[in-house]
Structure 1
Amino acid sequence: MDTAYPNTSYWNGQFTDSTVNVGYLPAYWAPDGVQHLARTYYQFEGKPFDASAAIITARLSAVETWASSCTPTGVASWITGIVSPSTTWNNQPSLTMRTDIASVAKGYSSACPAGTVGFDLMAGKNILLNSTKWTIMLAADNELDSNGLGWKRFTNGATIDVDYNRNPYGPAIDSVEAGRWTDVPRQSKYITRINKPKLSVFAGDPDWNGGNIEVDFSVRPAAGGANVFTGAVYNTSPTWKSVALDWGSTPALAEGDYILEARALDIWGGISPLMSFPFSVDTTAPQPPVVTSKSTNLSPYNAAVADYTDMYHEPGKVPYQFEISNSFTSGREMRASGFIYAVSELQQVAPPATVTCQTPPTEEFIVLCPETPKVLINIGSVSKTSYLSVWAFDAAGNVSGETYRKSNPKTVSLTVLEPDPVRTVEQLTLFGGAAWKDIVTTQAYGEQRKPTGTCGTADATGTTNAKALQLGAGAKAEYPSRAVDTAENFSMSAWVCPTSLNGSIQSLITQLAGSTPGAALEIDEFTGAARLQAWTGASSSHIVKGDPFVAGGWRYVTAVYDKINRQLRLSLTSATTVTTWVVAASQNSIVSAGPTQKVIIGQSMTGTQQFTGKIYRPMLTQGMLTTAQFDSVQDAFMNPDDTEKTGLLK
């Protein structure tokens, strides 16, 4: 704007030569013979800063193209109201604040060439921060100076460079170590059983290039009082991520309710909103549950007695019903939220270290979370004497009888008949060079025979007294029909001597027709372990794996499907008797085998998964054999003259 033409608008540089003027120009210098007093406005769209932003630096830069001399004179920068096409000398916006004065002279001669002049805007940072438009006026510092030395020209365009900082994001909870919700997440109580928990929050800074941040943690009692824990993670990157802090040497938390607080700080002094997260510490396990028999075929029928017998049925034949109920007392902050039970031939078993109501069956352990304080279960015996062990756990994952022991688990015993099973040896048809080879066995008093010697095709050295099935590339043995219905209890076993563990599945005993479900005893391709595979659907299998075989060595493998308990059990040993079972629990029942299935030894049904080596005394039979029965059933291989039958024990 110009006093010489007080009603003229110079909006967007109209009526100019791409330069703008500042200061006083005497009439005798002016081409039009009129004195001029000029001011120049630059207007910018304001940046929409968020509420937490703080301007660190703000500077207007404009190029001075001409000065009246090389003698510096002052130019002031002002924040004003907005300008528009109607702005003239006679219609000026109000002055808000002067921010800077630059004493400069640029563009008069080569001694003071044209150049950029900067004006600090920080004096008005709070005004700019909340303005939708930034309007900066340049005017002579002394507009009354009539000598003309304050007359200057600047380019029409100018820039503003702003460095700003926003506060870090407010942290969000990630976890309190081993914590879990007692019900619907974020609508229920958050509990941990760890009294010195690792704390984790998500933290970050929207200004990812503004330097690293610090995250401060504190824990205080929910009822009030001083912090019982403080700590910080320093110099962590500003990207949004989980930031964890160990509890360290701070004293452990007592049981109770607490508030975890966290905030983030940046290097510019920005502080995030405070995060507050309530949680509770519960380190006391619930009381062991009450276990009551509901089966009339068990004697004595007395809830106070923990030892029961059934002298009419053998293992796996009938289910037995028990009631598990909560022993919650009002003195406990939390009642038991669920139960773990296991059926085993061992009197003492250890459940998983921590469980939730979503924990699937693990080994022989089943997790139940009833809506009511009690639940009925049906179990089967797994041996002559079986043990039902039951634990209670609460929402914090504390298991009765475990880490935070309050008493032993509730355990009851179940003793049933264990008759010697009667089975027959069925002939096998051999293909592809499969052959029965003489081997040498040893036999300790009271034990079954144990094979010795190599797995290869060489003849045995010593006095031979048994035969093993020798299998090489392309070799197999078959039984023409199915040996078992896999929907019912079944048992498998064999002495196995592989020539190598070659990184591929090796089929030992398979009952499977195409995609029809069945069962397979195999050598695992990755670990060389024995594994039993049974099908819970047309394409869904359930597997239990044991210890690895040894190339060139004999191992005795036994496997069982227990229908009532929905368990697959497997054992691998170098001895003649099962010592330790590996258990896998299935949520679904194993489906029935197709009636057209046959049994193949040494290959899969498609001729792949070739086993090479020797197999001695293979068995696939209906029924759930106990440890003792696996031993006694092998008597069926013996002839009266102490020679052996060859074939599949069925």
Structure 2
Amino acid sequence: MRKSYALFRRACVPVLSLGLLTLGLSVPVAFAETDIPVTPVSGAKSESVALAEASETSQDVVVDAATTPTALTVAHPDGTLTTTMSTEPVRMQSSTGWSDISTDLVRTTVDGVSVLKPENVPVDITVGAGGSNKIASLDDKNGHSLTQSWPFGTLPEPVVEGNSATYQQVLPGVDLIQLVHKTGISQVLKIETAEAAEDPRVAEMRIFLDTQNTVVEQNADGELTAKDTDSGEVELRNSGGLWWDSSAQGANATDPGGQGVARPFSLTLGTEGGKQSQTFGMDEIFDAANLTFPVFVDPDWHAARTNYVFVDAAYPTTSYWNGYLTNGQGNVGYLPTEWAPDGRSHLARTYFQFNTSQLVGRDILAARLNTVETWSSSCTPTNVASWITGDIGPATNWNVQPNLIVRTDMGAVAKGYNASCPAGTVGFDLMAGKYAFANRTVLNVMLAAGNESDKLGWKKFENSATLTITHNRPPNTPVIGTITGGKYAYPSSAPAYYVTRNNKPVFRVSGSDPDGAEGGPIQLFMEVYTKTGALVRGSGGILGAGAGDVYDWQIDVNLPNGEYYLQSQSKDSWNAYSGTMHFNFRVDTTPPAAPVITEINAPPGNPAKLTTGATHEDTDGIIGATIYNFRLQLPAGSDPAEGFVFSITSGADPASAYPMSIRCGDPRIQEYVAVCPAGGMSTDISIAALDQTTVLTVWAFDSAGNVSVPLHNANGSTYAFTVGMGSVRPTTFVELQLNGAQWTTPQPGGDNICGQKPFGDITPGGAPQMLTFPNGTSTAQTAGQVIDPSQSFSVSGWFCPTSATGTTVQDLITQWTSTGPAAALRARTDGKPELVAWTGTGATETVIGQDLVSGRWAYVSAIYDRINAQLRITKTDTNSTGTWIKAASPVAHKTAAPSNPVQLGGSFVGNIYKPILTQGVLKPGTFDQAMQHSFTSTSKGLLK
């Protein structure tokens, strides 16, 4: 036989409200009962929205998005929030919103049968209304149900009051009282006399069970559970058989009364008439000494229980976790043997557990536990203490209790003994334990007698409690934005680090408060420390907006080269501090040495031919074709650099300045290339000439962005070289098949309009004809390939669009492949000319020129330089080249087959004059006047 008793009542729990026990009180305390006003609102308001509305209206606003069956959060106008959590459901959600739980029974009809149902509970409970053997059914609303039937005929119509239905005289001298709870139902048999107990039906009491999608099993410790037929998970539970007699004053169907305690009896599973039965161990009850009738026998079934437990020294190894062997009360204190109906000396403590995960990271401003004291040994107040403890669980019993962390409160109370000190709410201040639970996802609170040897300290409490916490969301941890002159360095043999080249940098940090502007302004603090932790300087508090601000602070002393860290934290108007940002950085103001440029031998078969004189000449060199190899090297004894940046420009261009945006790992930018060799001392590059004179410019840079010339200002190390006059020169006219395009003769003139010969055109022997494209479908096309776009090529011509802008790209000259274009000179919808090259994956690389003008001639020249990985384009209004615009082009391009044509036009309307498309890189002078002499009045086609 299991020896135990219950400390929890299964009666309907009253609504709890805030109360306070001041630490150290020695006189009775009047506990105020106040409810947080809740205004129904539509929509699921977030905390931020609710706080904004509360600030605007000066009224509390419910945070709908945080509402659960056990928790309610309210936003206050001052930017704080109050969350009230219960250990059991107090509300439930439906399609119309949240509503309070009510266990009061009402009559209704289900499938034509009159039944009783609770008004509003989260599970489906049906109570028999008499006239049949149905007692009750419980369904968790997930398809798991259990139905109980009376084995001794038809039940009479019950007397209904609140959550109870009393069936009088179901057997002679026996009433059946059903009590509906929020997640379950219990049946209490009231056996009025010893004669009634002698009825064989009472002695062999049982209830029939019928289940759906569940199987009722009995565990090794005697607990009955209904498990899912597929998963085996426990869906419904029985709290065990409990009984008490009337030896204590006030005993009734819901309470053992005064100093009474409930005791266990066995429940076993049986089978009768093809049905499972729940059989009561009535002999364990009737064999007890000194029974005082009426005797109350109380088993129950429920769908869920909150996490609570009590422990009792009288039964030190028994666990009462989650309501097993309990009937709805939590006892606290000392009950001597002479007062205990079971003849044992009891010392009890009660624990409550709350899920506080939603409050992790919050600044706790106030915290109180509230519960209802239902009975005390007298009206003389005795102390009850609240404690924050370690975690409780299924193994918790008197011998296995959690560690005590901190006592938070102690107060003298006496409620429930008689009308002079009626039952009521008591509260316990938990703020003394704030440090212990401020960031815990689970909070465990224990109630214990202040003097555990005082028999007047024996008290009973409801098994439910509320936790009311007023909190403020602390500011967000600041986020580093930038340090002026700083960047991340990624050395090959060491971890990455952040470094700045400024010794008096500006620190930019972002700060914000999750409460936004409603939370008020925040202060942000910044401090710089040496690597060893010595404070260098602090900013003091910088005021900013809680909705989010950027804070700039410049340190007022020069930082020597070395390692430091920036520390930043913010504070709101409630003196809540954010987390601390810690950011390591280095200061390095020393630039690397200037690199030395040396020509080295080219690959076999293409030896270097540059002279060693001041001009570095190669009279046989060909622009865009001859490869020259150079070594870029720091002087001996120099510190390694992070990398080198080099540019290749025409000697006719202005000196190349350092590009501030290019670093290791960045793609090429125009004529600039970053190279970051292992060791940081030297690297080899291969280039070709761009023009008759070409300039190679090289800079070295370090991790801090220091450059080998004064910071990013002018030229680096340079190497200029010249090549011979030899260059690609197109000589062949490729015949064009006209598809709607027409050959026409430009009129003499010189005002640069479409119908006249372009101004500045050099045309010996009369003007050649031009191609006119009257509409967007007219084209001119070659019979086959003109260039291989994967190799260097040049393209140029005079172009006069009827309309320079529009909704469609206008193709001017395009080399096609079987799967689409490979390279094209075309006019964009904004009127700018562009050279486009397609890669093998279908991506494009582009360089964009200056605007074309509707109805006016423009001379456009463009180059793809494969060796130098550049695209270049220029546009003028004469037959000479202007300023070249450059773009990087480091990816392999599509190639064209011999049968793939070149097309002129295609969505282009206007005129094309002197078109050229040829393999190789033309030097600027070749595009100019000399090449124009190839066109005569008798020449037609595309010059190749």
> Aligned pair in 2 of structure 1 residues 52, 362: CA closer, same or farther (>3 Å)?
closer
Does structure 2 retain, via aligned residues, the 8 Å contact 1:204–1:237? yes
What does residue 633 of structure 2 align with?
325
> Aligned pair in 2 of structure 1 residues 157, 286: CA closer, same or farther (>3 Å)?
closer
Instruction: Give the distance between the partners of 2:535 and 2:406, measured in 1 at CA.
Output: 47
What does residue 931 of structure 2 align with?
633
Paired amino acid for 1:63 = V
What does residue 908 of structure 2 align with?
611
What does residue 157 of structure 1 align with?
464
Instruction: Provide the secondary structure at the position in 2 that maps to 1:633.
Output: helix
Give, in angstroms, the shift of residue 577 of structure 1: 1.3
Equivalent in 258, 278, 281 of residue 587 of structure 2: 281
Instruction: Give the distance between the partners of 1:225 and 1:16, measured in 2 at CA.
Output: 61
Does structure 1 retain, via aligned residues, the 8 Å contact 2:646–2:696? no
What does residue 120 of structure 1 align with?
429
> Aligned pair in 2 of structure 1 residues 163, 572: CA closer, same or farther (>3 Å)?
same
Instruction: Give the distance between the partners of 2:887 and 2:325, measured in 1 at CA.
Output: 90
> Which segments of 5 or more consecutive residues in structure 2 lack a partner in the other structure?
1-6, 8-257, 262-311, 757-765
Equivalent in 363, 366, 378 of residue 670 of structure 2: 363
Does structure 2 retain, via aligned residues, the 8 Å contact 1:454–1:553? no
Give, in angstroms, the shift of residue 385 of structure 1: 1.9
Does structure 2 retain, via aligned residues, the 8 Å contact 1:439–1:451? no
> Which segments of 5 or more consecutive residues in structure 1 lack a partner in the other structure?
444-449, 456-463, 604-609
Work out which structure has the larger RCO, using CA pairs closer than 8 Å and 6 or more positions apart in sequence. Answer: 1
| Alignment partner of 1:293 is 2:599 | yes
Matches within 5 A, 1:492-507: 492-500=795-803, 501-507=805-811
Paired amino acid for 1:565 = N
> Aligned pair in 2 of structure 1 residues 413, 255: CA closer, same or farther (>3 Å)?
farther
> Aligned pair in 2 of structure 1 residues 133, 326: CA closer, same or farther (>3 Å)?
same
Q: Deviations over 1:208-249 (max 9, x none)?
A: 9996865432224447754245365656769xx9x853234x
| Alignment partner of 1:512 is 2:813 | no
Equivalent in 383, 399, 409 of residue 99 of structure 1: 409
Normalising by structure 2, we get a TM-score of: 0.54
Instruction: Give the distance between the partners of 1:533 and 1:54, measured in 2 at CA.
Output: 59
What does residue 535 of structure 1 align with?
838
Give, in angstroms, the shift of residue 134 of structure 1: 2.6
Q: Deviations over 1:392-416 (max 9, x none)?
A: 2222223334635597432323242
Matches within 5 A, 1:398-417: 398-401=706-709, 403=711, 408-417=716-725
Instruction: Give the distance between the partners of 1:327 and 1:386, measured in 2 at CA.
Output: 24
Instruction: Provide the secondary structure at the position in 2 that maps to 1:440.
Output: coil
Give, in angstroms, the shift of residue 256 of structure 1: 1.0
Asked which structure has the greater CA Rg, the reply is 2
Matches within 5 A, 1:242-321: 245-248=551-554, 250-251=555-556, 253-254=558-559, 256-267=561-572, 275-294=581-600, 301-302=611-612, 305-321=613-629
Equivalent in 466, 486, 491 of residue 183 of structure 1: 491
Instruction: Give the distance between the partners of 1:94 and 1:281, measured in 2 at CA.
Output: 50
Instruction: Provide the secondary structure at the position in 1 that maps to 2:825.
Output: strand
Matches within 5 A, 1:33-48: 41-45=349-353
| Alignment partner of 1:382 is 2:722 | no
Paired amino acid for 1:230 = S
Paired amino acid for 2:678 = E
Equivalent in 661, 668, 684 of residue 354 of structure 1: 661
Q: Deviations over 1:295-332 (max 9, x none)?
A: 69777632xx44222222342231222222113644x6
Paired amino acid for 1:557 = V
Give, in angstroms, the shift of residue 198 of structure 1: 4.9
Matches within 5 A, 1:21-60: 41-45=349-353, 56-60=365-369
Equivalent in 752, 770, 788 of residue 468 of structure 1: 770
Identical-pair percentage: 30
Instruction: Provide the secondary structure at the position in 1 that maps to 2:539.
Output: strand
> Aligned pair in 2 of structure 1 residues 379, 385: CA closer, same or farther (>3 Å)?
same
Instruction: Give the distance between the partners of 1:363 and 1:549, measured in 2 at CA.
Output: 22
Instruction: Provide the secondary structure at the position in 2 that maps to 1:76.
Output: strand
Instruction: Give the distance between the partners of 2:432 and 2:823, measured in 1 at CA.
Output: 83
What does residue 219 of structure 1 align with?
528
Q: Deviations over 1:187-224 (max 9, x none)?
A: 14432234554546688999999968654322244477
Instruction: Give the distance between the partners of 1:645 and 1:190, measured in 2 at CA.
Output: 64
Instruction: Give the distance between the partners of 2:351 and 2:644, measured in 1 at CA.
Output: 69
> Aligned pair in 2 of structure 1 residues 406, 382: CA closer, same or farther (>3 Å)?
closer
What does residue 575 of structure 1 align with?
878
| Alignment partner of 1:645 is 2:943 | no
Instruction: Give the distance between the partners of 2:943 and 2:445, measured in 1 at CA.
Output: 94
> Aligned pair in 2 of structure 1 residues 427, 281: CA closer, same or farther (>3 Å)?
same
Q: Deviations over 1:525-573 (max 9, x none)?
A: 4x33211122342634322221232223322111112232222211122
> Aligned pair in 2 of structure 1 residues 349, 261: CA closer, same or farther (>3 Å)?
closer
Equivalent in 775, 778, 782 of residue 479 of structure 1: 782
Normalising by structure 1, we get a TM-score of: 0.75
Which region of structure 1 is more displaced relative to structure 2, 480-489 or 289-298?
Answer: 289-298
Paired amino acid for 2:753 = T
> Aligned pair in 2 of structure 1 residues 297, 230: CA closer, same or farther (>3 Å)?
same
Instruction: Give the distance between the partners of 1:406 and 1:468, measured in 2 at CA.
Output: 46
Paired amino acid for 2:931 = V
Give, in angstroms, the shift of residue 442 of structure 1: 4.8
> Aligned pair in 2 of structure 1 residues 292, 39: CA closer, same or farther (>3 Å)?
closer
RMSD: 5.1
> Aligned pair in 2 of structure 1 residues 122, 521: CA closer, same or farther (>3 Å)?
closer
Instruction: Give the distance between the partners of 1:199 and 1:94, measured in 2 at CA.
Output: 46
Instruction: Give the count of matched residue pairs.
Output: 601
What does residue 588 of structure 1 align with?
891
Does structure 1 retain, via aligned residues, the 8 Å contact 2:385–2:411? no
Which region of structure 1 is more displaced relative to structure 2, 475-484 or 129-138?
Answer: 129-138
Q: Deviations over 1:8-64 (max 9, x none)?
A: 779979999856789999xxxx9x9xxxx9997431237799999986433231235
> Aligned pair in 2 of structure 1 residues 14, 421: CA closer, same or farther (>3 Å)?
closer
